Amino acid sequence: MQLTLPLSQDTREPVVLTASRRLAHAMRLSYAANAQARGLSVWRTPQILPWSTWLKREYLEARALARDGASVKRVLSGAQSRALWDDIVAESRFARELLNPSNAARLAARSWRRLHEYLIPIEALESFDTPEARALESWCRDFVARCRALRAIDEAELTTWAHEQAFVPANEVACAGFDSMPPSMRRLIDRWRVAGRYVELDANAKSASDVSVIGAEDAAAELTALAAWAREQVAAGVERVGVILGDLQQRRDEAVRAFEDAFAPGERSVGRTPTGIPVVIAAASPLASYPLVDAALLVLRLASTASHEDAGRLLRTPFVAGGTSERSLRALADLRLREEQRERWDWFELERWASMTGCDVLQRTARKVNEVLRTFSGTALASEWAERFQALWLASGWPGERTLNSLEHQTLEKVRSVLAELGSLDGVAGRMSLPRALARLRDICAETPFEPESVSGAVTVIDAATSAGMQFDALWVAGLDADRLPAPINPDTLIPIELQRRAGIPESTAEGVLDQAAAQLQRWLRSTKRLVLSWPKRAGDAVLQLSPLVARLGIEPRSPQARHAHASLSEHLFAARPQLEEVQDDQAPPLARAASGGARTIELQSRCAFRAQAELRLHARPLPRVGLGVEPLDRGAILHRVLEDVWGRLQTHARLVDADDEALERLVRESAERNAARALRPDTRHRVRLAALEIESVVRQVLRLLEVERARVPFSIRFAEAAETFSLGGLTITLRPDRIDELSDGGALLIDYKLGDSHRPRDWIDVVPGRPRRPQLPLYGLAHAERLRALAYVVLAPGAVEYRGWSDGTEIGAGISPYPYGVRTDLGDPADWTALLHHWRFTLTKLAERYVAGDARVDPLPQECSLCHLSTFCRIHELSTARNVRAREAGVNDE
């Protein structure tokens, strides 16, 4: 980015004080560009500094020159101030009423700064009897006392120091990029002006001569339009293009994608930034959000106690020893770790785990880390923790074995400086435990904005506040709807509103925010020759109006220019595919032996042939889910086992009817407790509580089901959960029906227990010809066709415990309807029970034959892919892109 900076080569030129670090950087670059343009090869570096940095430097110089240097206070760093505020709020009498003391500490620090900027004395808070005012007053007084004890001063107090000491700078100063100045700063400037030490920068910028207003359909369309516009400006040779996005921090990723698609369509891919894009997205992210920093914090978190998620992430990170060379083994170890379902992990557990899973490098690394950990004891000072953390990182091999790229190098340096900040907390934080020290470091990383240096580009994307003082050749300001310009009032949370209004804090009044917005608009008009102002016309269903301040300019809004529509990334990738010979390869080798998938074999073959072959023959399974609650699989196992126990004892409907309620509940509860203990392993307090809740739920549902079963026509249980083999269409599989009931007048009812409420008998009939969605019970029915009278789901879902099934007309009980009467059938569905059985035999035999033959077509039933984990394996999305592109090409050719 370049700027026109009206500075000369005069050695007595003023020190320029900027509103932001970014503006200072931009002005220095601009100065260098001007010097080069004048043919200079060497020039004097101008002094351009952010206001806060300069004031702190002047204070430190004054302190060094003071006769009695020892009497002058030191300046607290940001981390030191933060640590003080944290302790003050956490130890105060208000802490118990706070939901989030850490956040309250942040708010208190911000209010403290505001009090100084707007010259509000702490005593002024005394006359307000609100909880916020009382808390703020108490915290501020405590902060003053602690600073006095430490012989330290906070950065927020430096303007007060300068005023009280009648400080006047030795050289002339000038300010740049301040839309408005708080009173504490203004009174200093006034004094320096009188003393002849303040000069105005020559405001040579003129108002924009070409202003347009654009209404885009929505925020996404606005972003696409401005990225395309920026590309056109660069192509036309415009050197300094600016884009101002108000909510840049939240929309950073979206903005990056829009500019990449506009400047390098088709080049975007995972883990790679397209090269040669002349765009700088000027939005710093918290340091903790960088993967290298996340890995560093993970190493430390595992030094106390971490979750299974942390352990899994450590196994997957490349930023520890062996993270790259051992990644395949660690991926398998991660898979097994999910199956382990252990909640708490640390480096000692990881060492054991690494030895069990063959991850030798990890095992050696964990051993080294554990050796370091054994040397730690009790609490320590922050500087000692900084050294210990460094030792842990060294032992873990952080930052990994591969060569770091430029961004990672800069991040590494930043982490080192942050560790030094932690080390500087000795005086303010005292001795602390490992979790406390780690929490401090995590807070510092979370609150340190970090933006790696990048090569400057022709286009700068920036937020409204940081853009103050910058000049562009062409500028687009987005998001100017009536809700955001002017912004809603945003008073300080802790300072009483009356005090804020009296002190003139602009965010506290409607007039204040209106004035700020008007000044901002005037600044944009003066900071470029060509200005585009835009707003999104819609946000979801809400219609947004153009800001009245922009409307007042009297420029007729227009729509974004219809530019060449960019094809989507997937279409670019598809268009760039190598032209290969196409081979239709949807046939796996025929099956040579009995399948092992049970009834699921036929079900998957029906849902999607590719999925059946991939899951059952290639074992392409999803990674197990690791959750804190009860997994559906465990819940199902408990319910099945309890029902098996209960019916194993009862055996007949008659005994159920005769059973005493209390004895029945005792039987159910004992079984639920025994099976929950086996499935849920309640070895921690959390899991004991979870198991207790689960037992109650199982007891409730099973007793409710037994109530329903009591009302049935008499029956007896033939067997429950017994395995049986069945052959169909050349396929021999093992079936395991949940229950078979012998009916009193002969024949059998086949039952399947289901935990979800979504199961309906309708799924037993074809969705597309020859392919039902859930053929499991029909398959059981075919295995018992001679005696089959009915099939039913027994649904055990929260709020629904009931039978859902079809019969051949035999009276069985509520929820089982005679087929096809009482059942909604479609044209082409089997006409009666006999036809239904015949249809199932035909379709399921065909499906079995196709599975045996190796049919592996990517051919899912409708909505099937949304529940499947194999889309990257079957590449169904490429198939749909190919179909779209081909359909479009066919359409073009038709024309």
Interaction pattern, residues 632-651, with ligand SF4; x per rule: CB under 6 A: --------------------
Q: How far apart are CA 531 and CA 478, in angstroms?
A: 11
Q: Where does this chain touch ligand SF4 (CB under 6 A) — which range of 65-73, 466-474, 631-639, 870-878?
A: 870-878
Interaction pattern, residues 605-624, with ligand SF4; x per rule: CB under 6 A: ---x-xx-------------
Position 796 contacts ligand SF4 (CB under 6 A): no
Position 355 contacts ligand SF4 (CB under 6 A): no
Q: How far apart are CA 708 and CA 751, in angstroms?
A: 14
Smallest distance, ligand SF4 to C-beta of residue 890, A: 23
Q: Return the number of the residue (650 or 868) whose C-beta is nearest ligand SF4.
A: 868
Q: Return the number of the residue (256 or 609) whose C-beta is nearest ligand SF4.
A: 609
Q: How far apart are CA 693 and CA 673, in angstroms?
A: 11
Q: Where does this chain touch ligand SF4 (CB under 6 A) — which range of 340-348, 661-669, 803-811, 863-871?
A: 863-871
Position 874 contacts ligand SF4 (CB under 6 A): yes
Within 13 Å of residue 440, how many CA atoms lie on the same side as its CB?
Answer: 34
Instruction: Reduce the secondary structure of 400-461 to three states and give it as a string.
Output: CCCCCCHHHHHHHHHHHHHHHHHHCCHHHHCCECHHHHHHHHHHHHHHCEECCCCCCCCEEE
Q: Return the number of the residue (659 or 853) whose C-beta is nearest ligand SF4.
A: 853
Q: How far apart are CA 236 and CA 709, in angstroms?
A: 80
Smallest distance, ligand SF4 to C-beta of residue 868, A: 3
**Is residue 406 left, alpha or beta, with left meaning phi > 0 and alpha meaning psi from -120 to 50?**
alpha
Q: Where does this chain touch ligand SF4 (CB under 6 A) — which range of 9-17, 274-282, 749-757, 866-874?
A: 866-874
Smallest distance, ligand SF4 to C-beta of residue 143, A: 58
**Do residues 852 and 841 lie in contact, with contact meaning Cβ atoms separated by under 8 Å?**
no
Which residue in 383, 871, 884, 885 binds ligand SF4 (CB under 6 A)? 871
Smallest distance, ligand SF4 to C-beta of residue 875, A: 8
Q: Where does this chain touch ligand SF4 (CB under 6 A) — which range of 200-208, 287-295, 603-611, 636-644?
A: 603-611
Position 789 contacts ligand SF4 (CB under 6 A): no
**Do residues 160 and 116 lie in contact, with contact meaning Cβ atoms separated by under 8 Å?**
yes
**Do residues 250 and 286 lie in contact, with contact meaning Cβ atoms separated by under 8 Å?**
no
Smallest distance, ligand SF4 to C-beta of residue 617, A: 13
Position 868 contacts ligand SF4 (CB under 6 A): yes
Smallest distance, ligand SF4 to C-beta of residue 856, A: 9
Q: Return the number of the residue (45 or 863) whose C-beta is nearest ligand SF4.
A: 863
Query: Which of the 8 DSSP states describes residue 617?
Result: I
Interaction pattern, residues 654-673, with ligand SF4; x per rule: CB under 6 A: --------------------
Q: Return the number of the residue (223 or 608) whose C-beta is nearest ligand SF4.
A: 608
Q: Return the number of the residue (366 or 874) whose C-beta is nearest ligand SF4.
A: 874
Helix 833-853 and helix 776-783: axis angle, to 10°?
100
Q: Return the number of the residue (288 or 874) whose C-beta is nearest ligand SF4.
A: 874
**Greatest extent of the chain over all pairs of C-alpha atoms, in Å:** 112
Smallest distance, ligand SF4 to C-beta of residue 865, A: 3
Q: Return the number of the residue (866 or 893) whose C-beta is nearest ligand SF4.
A: 866
Pair of tokens at residue 519: 């000044």
Position 864 contacts ligand SF4 (CB under 6 A): yes
Position 865 contacts ligand SF4 (CB under 6 A): yes
Of the candidates 262, 230, 242, the one whose C-alpha atom is nearest the C-alpha of residue 463 is 242
Q: Return the number of the residue (528 or 613) whose C-beta is nearest ligand SF4.
A: 613
Smallest distance, ligand SF4 to C-beta of residue 855, A: 12
Q: Return the number of the residue (626 or 874) whose C-beta is nearest ligand SF4.
A: 874
Of the candidates 14, 698, 815, 77, the one whose C-alpha atom is nearest the C-alpha of residue 417 is 77
Position 570 contacts ligand SF4 (CB under 6 A): no
CA dist 158 → 146, 431, 765 (Å): 17, 29, 79
* Terminal CA-CA length for the chain: 47
Smallest distance, ligand SF4 to C-beta of residue 874, A: 3
Query: Which of the 8 DSSP states describes residue 683?
Result: -
Smallest distance, ligand SF4 to C-beta of residue 826, A: 24
Number of residues that bind ligand SF4 (CB under 6 A): 12
Q: How far apart are CA 723 and CA 714, in angstroms?
A: 25
Q: Return the number of the residue (355 or 570) whose C-beta is nearest ligand SF4.
A: 570
Q: Return the number of the residue (94 or 873) whose C-beta is nearest ligand SF4.
A: 873
**Contacts with 867 (C-beta within 8 Å, 6 or more apart), sequence order:** none
Smallest distance, ligand SF4 to C-beta of residue 607, A: 6
**Do residues 659 and 649 lie in contact, with contact meaning Cβ atoms separated by under 8 Å?**
no
Q: Where does this chain touch ligand SF4 (CB under 6 A) — which range of 151-159, 242-250, 648-656, 867-875?
A: 867-875
Position 870 contacts ligand SF4 (CB under 6 A): yes
Q: How far apart are CA 777 and CA 793, in angstroms?
A: 8
Position 125 contacts ligand SF4 (CB under 6 A): no
Q: Return the number of the residue (373 or 876) whose C-beta is nearest ligand SF4.
A: 876
Q: Where does this chain touch ligand SF4 (CB under 6 A) — which range of 194-202, 434-442, 678-686, 868-876?
A: 868-876
Helix 434-447 and helix 291-301: axis angle, to 10°?
170
Which residue in 133, 152, 226, 876 binds ligand SF4 (CB under 6 A)? 876
Give the chain's count of helices (H) and strands (E).
32, 26
Q: How far apart are CA 165 and CA 169, in angstroms?
A: 12
Smallest distance, ligand SF4 to C-beta of residue 761, A: 23
Smallest distance, ligand SF4 to C-beta of residue 618, A: 11
* Residue found under tokens 């199956």: 339
Position 521 contacts ligand SF4 (CB under 6 A): no
Position 588 contacts ligand SF4 (CB under 6 A): no
Q: Return the number of the residue (137 or 864) whose C-beta is nearest ligand SF4.
A: 864
Q: Are strands 474-478 and 241-245 parallel, antiparallel or unpaired?
A: parallel
Specify the amino acid at residue 175: C
Q: How far apart are CA 777 and CA 782, in angstroms?
A: 9
Pair of tokens at residue 221: 């369309």
Neighbour tally for 557: CB within 10 Å: 15
* Residues of this chain, 833-862, that bind ligand SF4 according to CB under 6 A: 858, 860
Q: How far apart are CA 591 and CA 852, in angstroms?
A: 5
**Do residues 782 and 875 lie in contact, with contact meaning Cβ atoms separated by under 8 Å?**
no
User: Helix (H, G, I), strand (E, B), or coil: what is residue 618?
Assistant: coil
Contacts 24+ apart (CB under 8 A), 671-674: 671/641, 671/642, 671/645, 671/646, 672/638, 672/642, 672/698, 672/699, 672/702
User: By the criterion CB under 6 A, which residues form the site for ligand SF4?
Assistant: 608, 610-611, 858, 860, 864-865, 868, 870-871, 874, 876
